[in-house]
Structures are given as structure tokens and as C-alpha cells.
Chain A
Amino acid sequence: MATPTRELAAVKQTAQSQKPTHLEKEAEITKTLTFALGDQVYGIEIPYVIEIIGVPKITVVPCPEVPYFIKGIINVRSKVVPVVNMRSCFGKEEIGYDDKTCTIIVSLNDVSVGLIVDEVLDVLSVTRKHIAKTPELNNVNNNKFIDYILEMNDGIKLILDIKKIIFEHDLALM
């Protein structure tokens, strides 16, 4: 099952309160797939990621209730998967799709969804020392879906809360 290790959850809670030993700091606790939306780098913990594909033909679901950021459904190896444009989900301006545009298929508890992102970057090894706590600023649209933040040498990476993306996606409308 795609759930982060218990250790990781513990680390997230105690990120700033306890001082881990040097060895613990260096040990890898998870891997994260990073992608870009404009200038900002985001990450998804690897266990949630099923596959990365281009942007296939999207069939629009013509129902007035379906929110604007759900672009429609696609056929991923004979599975019907809904796709979300991450730009519009995060309140950014949508741009056209080019050859760098990717769909990241994520899944939790057998519910799959495709996330359309500008560009997929890398898979990073995350250690304890990278993890910083999310600031308690929930009024920013972006922050609703951020689980925690990684501080790396090459900049900050916002790790997404896949549970919220999949099961509470209407948060984006609020």
C-alpha cells in the first residue's frame, strides 16, 4: 500500500523539537518525485506514484458540476483515470501543453488520478535533515495541499499531501 513509512510520519511531527543524531540525519527515509509548475518545485512521495506519461487525448466530462481544474478522463492502459491540471488546481494561470508537459498518475486506496504538470524533474532521496515544518499559513491557496517542505541545497521543495489531492480536491474551490 502506498503509505509513507511510519518513521517519516514521526519525523514530520518532531521535525523541529528533537535533535537527531548525525547518523539519523543522513539516513534516507523516503524518495520523492519532483516536478515544476512555473518556477516552483513540488514533490510527491514515490510510493504514491504509479507512472508518468505524456498528455494523452483527454475526454471532457460534460457535467456542469465538475470543477474547472478537472480536465476530463483519459485512458491509461484501459483504465479510465480523471486528470487534474495542477496549475489551475493551485490557482495559477493555465498554459498550453508542450513536449515537456507530463501527467503523473498517483494512486491512494485504489483511487487514481492524473496530475498534469509543466515538467517532471528528478527523484530525490530525502533524509531527516531536509525536512522542515509547513508554516501555519493556510490562507494561501497552495498551502492547502502541502504536507511538508524540503529544504535542499538547490532550493525549497513543497511536498504534496496526496490524500488531500485525491479525497479533498474541492479544497481548491474554497
Chain B
Amino acid sequence: MPKIEPGMEAMIDMYIFETSTLLEQLDEIILRVEQANVFTDEDINEIFRIMHTVKGSSAMMGFENLQLLSHKGEDMFFIIRENPGNMKDINFIYDLVFRMSDLFKAEIEMLQGSTDYEPTDFSDILKDLDKGAAMLAGREAEAEAEASAEAAEAAGEAVSSGGKNYPAGSMSVRVFFQEGCKMENLRSFLLLNKIKEEASILDYYPDDVEHDPSTCNTIMDDGFLVVFKGDDNDSVLRLIENAVNVESYKVEATDTGAAPAAPKPSEKAAAQAKPAPKPVEKAQNFSPVPATPSVNTQQAPAAKEVEAAQQLNSGGKQSIISVNLQKLDQLHDIVGEIITTESMVISNPELEGLKLESFLKSARELKKLTDELQDTVMSIRMVPLAGPFQKMNRIVRDMKVKLGKDAELKIDGENTEVDKSIVDNLNDPLMHLVRNCMDHGIEDDVQQRIEAGKPAKGTVFLSATSSSGEVIITVSDDGAGIDTDRVITKAERQGLLIKPASDYTEREIQNMILLPGFSTNEVVTEFSGRGVGMDVVKQNIEKCGGTLTVESKHGQGTMFVIKIPLTLAIIEGMELEVHDTIFTVPISSIRESFKASTNEIIRDTMRGEMIMVRGECYPIIRLHEKFNIPSDVTNFEDGILILIETDSKSVCLFADKLIGEQQVVVKPFPPYLGRYNIKGAGLSGCTIMGDGSISLIVDVPNLIEN
């Protein structure tokens, strides 16, 4: 791997965070631009800024391949920026930039995931970027024959040495860095990039500061010599002076040749293209607050909406800091501990029988505060769904191009908040569902849509609302809907039916598409049709405690409904005792508990036990048998039955006794036990009780299935 400097290890999280944020911004901008099909100055400057920052920070971290990639991207936009008027056929840019940002993201993911990271070779995309840049530059050449050579040269590879006779108005400066600041070559390179924003660089020495770390010594000893020429050389000097780690600088020579009365064409072009003075970006200062694009009146109306939303978001961003998720988890753990300890103190057995008026008053006060603390910590972990929702824009866009269908994505309620860990788990399912809507939902034939009285352009609609501890997310389309006849024939052929086809309700048939191995698509496409997918989506959603259902009207569209809990970490549980083991069953899956006598029990041929409750027969799971606990309570008269249910099935659990209802903080089993399928055995986690003992949380769906 490219050796990360020891001092940089701490920075890598920050780097990953910032770069990912910037890349997402880039995606958003390009999507917007593509919709409007015109690059505004604002957009170009913003993209340029993003590329530049990414390049700078990649260079700081020593990721040369990423640096090179962003450098080429920057080059391309440099040409675009220099010649904003000459852009006609720009469609290829979008794909190029998306490809680049995807590669970047993949690389960063690798960086994040593994310790033995190997840098990827990006030569393919680099070539294409070069080609893109050349195409843009070529067009430029037609329009502005004279200036082109210079511009293309400048864009091609930063700077070319223009001989030792520098033109009038140039200035040569020797820059010295602080002693021991390390990586002088990269700092020089960053400085060069900054100067490039203000002036054109004519020459610099040592030559290959970008790639040759051995130049460090030269720079340390003799300083870094740079010759530049700008409209305002003083501002460049100020920039140098304020740059990070610059100790001092010395103006070596100033060629104050009389400025030509009429500027040369190339200069004019440069002056036009020069961006409005922008804040100096300090690459080292990983500011997590992304700069905000300002409102642009030239934007297409559709884009305005997005812009306005961004403005709205950005208004609040100043007061936001980014926190490592691990620290939040830690805080959350501590709060859990405080709550546990609090109940240990307040209901301490030693206090029994004492008259404690003021103690109880203080205890109530404490309880109020800890409840508040818990609510606050929970709210910190909540993040809006906007992130995963916005990502779907990309999916719809890509599929639109590939499938040749015209469709748009509408989003509603993206400000709905859910727990961070759930948001992370939602990305994949959402992507699958949106793809499904695009691929299967929206009709292939536009004519079909028009005949059905629908607009030619299809719509995929994403929405989120929250209601009483649950978030409901819907992914719907206005396409053809599910053809129940086709589904049932297909299911029959695949042997998925368990009763006669005519016995199935419409709803049941629709939900068949969520079964493993089911696919109505005759042709497997890049996106779907393999029959894996929908059942995986269902599983993923169930993994974060949610449910997935389908509603569809033939000819009018399909709607997938995801219901997920607001947070995973704290649940309302019922404590059951079996011998000396305590189990917690989530209250949400308990229907009732009751006593039964042995003569009410029905035994089937397989020695399984069942009980009849109000005309319905439920199988009984004896917890002590299931979990192999030597319990004395084996007679139904002595224990208690608890009726639990999931969407599809209900069973009765048999336990020794009920202890009571309690809010519990869910803890996963320790990683040491990760290789054993404890979940499959019917346990989803554990929790620490008020008296310090551990209770096992029952995984109701798994317990019922097995």
C-alpha cells in the first residue's frame, strides 16, 4: 500500500469522510446539470473546487492514484471553465464524471475496509479523461485558434517550462517551508495549485514535486522556486504568505515590463475565465462543512427546487459538527449503563422498609433527568433519510439511459429521521426496489402507457413518513402493476404453491414475488430477473427489524411498503424466567399470556403439543426444551403460556413465569461468538438487567420458523 505516514493515520477517517461528502456533492451537481443540460459558471466552479480539494487531500494522504485521477478530472473541467461558451455536445462528460466518481468511491471503500489496501490502477479512465479533455480542447481550438495552444498546454499537464525569458509582468518567488513540516514536495504542489487559481504559472523548480519525494531535500535546503504571472501579483504573494506551513518567501525577480496597452487574446481569455475570488481552500484543514452553491438564476426551474432545498440544508450546516459514530455508540452505551445503575441504586434491596422521603424525591428527579438524557442521545443518532433517497437519483438516471425508458424520481419526506444503523442497512434494499420499479414496473412500450391514459414519462415515487415508533417507507411506480395471473402460473411452475392456485387471494399472490427464487422476468437483465433480489431485500429489511409488503393494482402500478422501527437499540420487552435463565421477548410480538391445564393440550402424531385458543390451534414451544435448560417446571399448570406472533405465524411459548415488562437496551452478542449461528437458534441479542444479570433476547421470527 502507499505507505501512510504515521502522523496521517488519524487523518484517514477525516479524509474518507470529507472525500465521500464531496463526491456525493459532485454527483448531485452533475445530475442537476444533466437535467438542465447546461453547465452554469457556478456549477463549473463548484465542480472544479471539489476536484481540487479531493486532489489536494489525496496528495496530502499520499494516495497517488487518487490524486492523479482527480487531477485529470480537474484538467477536464479546467478546459470547460476556460471556455464555457464552447460546449455543445457535452453528454459524454456526464458519464465520464459518473464513472470517475464511482471508481473513486470504490477506492475509498477499499481504503476503509481493509488494512492491506492496494491502490488500483486507473489507467483506463485516465485515458478516457485525457481523451475527453482533448475533445474539449480540440473544439476550443476551432473556435479560438490562437489562444488554444496555450490553453491546451496549460490544461494538458499543469505547466510547461517556457524558457528562461519570462514575459512581462511575471514574478519569481522562492518559498521556504517551516522546518520539519514534512512532505515539502506535496506542500509545494498544493501551493502551486493554489497559485494556479490566481495566476498562470510559468515555471517552477524542483520540477517533479508531484511525484518525486526526493525533491523534499532540495526544497528544504534551497526553497521552492516558482515563476508566475497574474493580474495581481500582490494577491498571489499574499496567498503564498498565508499558505499552510510556509515559513517565509523571497521575491527573486520581478519583470515589471510595461503592461501592454491592449491585452493579448490569451490574457483576455484568462481574465474572463478567472473565477470570482474564492476563499483559499486549505487542503490540510479538513473542514467537514462543505461550501454551499449559491442560488443561480440561470438554472432550469426543476433544478431550482433542488437548489432551494440545498440552501435550506446548508443554512443549518454551520452549527453541525461531525462526530465519529464509535463515540456516539460509546455515549449510548454509557447512557444504557447509567439507566441500569440507576435502577440498581433506587430499587436496592437494602433500602427496603426504610422511610426515605427526600431520597425518593431525589430519585424521581434523577429518573426524569436520565430519561431526558436517553431521549437526547437517541435523537443524536437519528439521521434523515435524505442521503439514501438522493442516491436513488443516480440509479434512476443510470437505468433510464440503459433501459431507454423515460422516467423520473419523485421524493417526499426525505427529512424523516431514523437511527443511523438502520439508514446504513436501507441502502441496498432501496436500490433493489427502485431498480425493480424501473425494470419491471414502468412499461417498456411508451405506447402502452399512452393507451392506458398515463403520461409518457413514468414516475418512481419514494416517500417516508413516521408514525408511532415506526417509519413507513414506500417505493412505488405508476407502471403496469403485478400481473397476478402470470405470477401464479410462474409460481406453480416453480413449485412454490402450497395450496390450490384458486385458493390464493390477490394479496397473497402479489406477495409471492418476495419468495426466494421467484422471478417473472423471462430475460435476465443486468439489473434484475435472476430471482435473487426480492427475497434478499425482504431479508435485509427484516434484519433491521422491519417488514416488507407489496400492494399492486394491475395496470396502475406497484407499491412496496417498508415498515421499520425508529430505533433498534431500546425495545419494550417482557421478561420470562426459565429455571435460572431470563429471556426477553419484544412486547410488539406478544399477543397475550395465559395459564393452561394439561388436559387442554392436544398432542399430534409427532409428539408435538398444541393448544386451542378461541377456536384456533397454536403449536407450543417449550423454552426449556428448545434451549436445553434443566427446568423443574414441566407441567403446564405450573408455568405460563405466552402467545407470540409474526406476520404469518403464531405460536405459544411455555416458560416458568413472567417477571415483568421492562425497557431494555439491546446489546449484540460479543464478536467472539460471531462465528456461531446464535440468531438461527432463536436469539437476537442480550441485555443487562437492573440487577446486573444478563437476559437473552428472543428472536421471534427465527424461533417461529425453526
Q: Is B349 an interface residue (CB 8 A)?
A: no
**What CA separation (Å) do A78 and B334 show in the bound complex?**
9
Q: Is the Cβ of A59 less than 8 Å from the Cβ of B688?
A: no
With A80-B669, A80-B670 in contact, do A59 and B686 touch (Cβ < 8 Å)?
Answer: yes
Q: Is the Cβ of B670 less than 8 Å from the Cβ of A112?
A: yes
Shortest Cβ distance from B374 into chain A, in angstroms?
15
B678 proximity list for chain A (CB < 8 A):
61, 63, 65-66
Q: Is A57 an interface residue (CB 8 A)?
A: yes
Question: Which residues 458-472 in B have Cβ within 8 Å of A in the complex?
Answer: none
B694 proximity list for chain A (CB < 8 A):
59, 73-75, 80
**What CA separation (Å) do A133 and B18 show in the bound complex?**
48
Q: Is B693 an interface residue (CB 8 A)?
A: yes
With A61-B678, A62-B681, A65-B677 in contact, do A80 and B672 touch (Cβ < 8 Å)?
Answer: no
Q: Is the Cβ of A59 less than 8 Å from the Cβ of B696?
A: yes
Q: Which residue of B lies closest to A72 (CB)?
A: B694
A59 proximity list for chain B (CB < 8 A):
581, 686, 693-696
**Binary interface profile of A, 49-61, with partner B (CB < 8 Å = 1, else 0)?**
0000000010111
**What CA separation (Å) do A136 and B340 show in the bound complex?**
50
Chain A interface SS verdict (over half): mixed
Q: Which residue of A lies closest to B672 (CB)?
A: A82
Q: Tell me which of A75, A81, A82, A166 contacts B692 (CB under 8 A).
A: A75
**What CA separation (Å) do A82 and B686 show in the bound complex?**
12
**What CA separation (Å) do A62 and B681 show in the bound complex?**
8
A169 proximity list for chain B (CB < 8 A):
672
**What CA separation (Å) do A61 and B699 show in the bound complex?**
13
**Binary interface profile of B, 326-339, with partner A (CB < 8 Å = 1, else 0)?**
00000001001100
B473 proximity list for chain A (CB < 8 A):
none
**What CA separation (Å) do A122 and B694 show in the bound complex?**
31
Q: Is A64 an interface residue (CB 8 A)?
A: yes
A70 proximity list for chain B (CB < 8 A):
672-673
**What CA separation (Å) do A103 and B671 show in the bound complex?**
19
**What CA separation (Å) do A111 and B672 show in the bound complex?**
7
**Binary interface profile of B, 650-687, with partner A (CB < 8 Å = 1, else 0)?**
00000000000000000101111101111011010010
A102 proximity list for chain B (CB < 8 A):
none
With A61-B683, A75-B692 in contact, do A66 and B670 touch (Cβ < 8 Å)?
Answer: no
Q: Is B256 an interface residue (CB 8 A)?
A: no
Q: Is A170 an interface residue (CB 8 A)?
A: yes
With A75-B692, A78-B340, A80-B688 in contact, do A62 and B581 touch (Cβ < 8 Å)?
Answer: yes
Q: Tell me which of B628, B672, B688 contacts A78 (CB under 8 A).
A: B688
Q: Tell me which of B336, B670, B676, B680 contacts A81 (CB under 8 A).
A: B670
Shortest Cβ distance from A82 into chain B, in angstroms?
5
A65 proximity list for chain B (CB < 8 A):
676-678, 681
Lowest 10 A-B CB distances belong to which pairs? A62-B627, A63-B681, A78-B337, A65-B676, A59-B694, A63-B678, A82-B672, A111-B671, A82-B670, A66-B676
Q: Which B positions have Cβ atoms within 8 angstroms of A?
A: 333, 336-337, 340, 581, 626-629, 667, 669-673, 675-678, 680-681, 683, 686, 688, 692-696
Q: Which A positions have Cβ atoms within 8 angstroms of B?
A: 57, 59-66, 70, 73-75, 77-78, 80-82, 110-113, 166, 169-170
Starting from the known contacts A80-B670, A113-B672, 7 additional A-B residue pairs (CB-CB under 8 Å) come to A62-B629, A65-B677, A66-B678, A78-B336, A80-B667, A80-B686, A111-B670
| A–B Cβ pairs within 8 angstroms, 29 of them | A57-B693, A59-B686, A59-B694, A60-B581, A61-B669, A61-B673, A61-B678, A62-B581, A62-B626, A62-B627, A62-B628, A62-B681, A63-B676, A63-B681, A65-B676, A65-B677, A65-B678, A66-B673, A73-B694, A75-B692, A78-B688, A80-B670, A80-B694, A82-B673, A111-B672, A112-B672, A113-B672, A169-B672, A170-B675
